[in-house]
Amino acid sequence: MGSDQNHQLIIMRHAKSDRGADHKHDFDRPLSDRGNHDAKKIALWLVEQKLLPDIIVVSPARRVHETADIVCSILGFETKNIYWANAIYEASLGDLLKIIKDNTKQHKTMLLIGHNPGMDNLLCYLSENAPAFTPSGKLLTTSAIAVLEYKNKRIETEPQSAKLIRLMRPKEL
């Protein structure tokens, strides 16, 4: 990554999970077949767009862990370098802002993979331009990616501190 590149925060909602009766606890739900497919599609899109993070911060919930494994394998990012943040699971906006502050000092491009409603709230809070909702009223669908750009300055957590440059959902690919 060149030193003249703008800093970016990439927000990703985990891929579609399996809500089958075998999974008693929300935390333990695995990805569905569609989730596996969509995570691969979005990861390939990240590669095509040359959106390669230098840090990936992830919720430890099973569906997020599996999403991150797929994304990392396609990006060529070693999973041993993932930062697992327990606070992302059921995170408030404040929790997510703290995670970003604590993990971006040395990094230009961060990929944060987590859950809704937190990811939606974070996107709306940080983006200076309003993100587009789907016709059914959703913002970050499963596996969706939002790319926020900070003009040649570090990633910040102030309201409307970044420009939303891309919002990509698997169905749009």
- Give the model's pLDDT for residue 110: 96
**Gap between the Cα atoms of 64 and 66, Å rounded:** 5
- Give the model's pLDDT for residue 22: 73
**Gap between the Cα atoms of 149 and 165, Å rounded:** 7
In order along its 173 residues, the chain shows pLDDT tens digits of 344 578 999 999 999 999 876 767 889 999 999 999 999 999 999 999 999 999 999 999 999 999 999 999 999 999 888 999 999 999 999 999 999 999 988 899 999 999 999 999 999 999 999 999 999 999 999 999 999 999 868 899 999 999 999 999 999 99
Q: Which domains are seen in the chain, by residue range?
A: 7-17+27-172 (3.40.50.1240)
- The whole-model pTM stands at 0.94
- Give the model's pLDDT for residue 4: 57
Instruction: Answer whether 101's CB lies under 8 Å from 157's CB.
Output: yes
CA end-to-end span of the chain, whole Å?
25
**Gap between the Cα atoms of 163 and 74, Å rounded:** 26
**Gap between the Cα atoms of 31 and 18, Å rounded:** 5
Within a 10 A sphere around the Cβ of 89, how many other Cβ atoms?
16
- Give the model's pLDDT for residue 58: 97
- Give the model's pLDDT for residue 3: 46
- Give the model's pLDDT for residue 21: 60
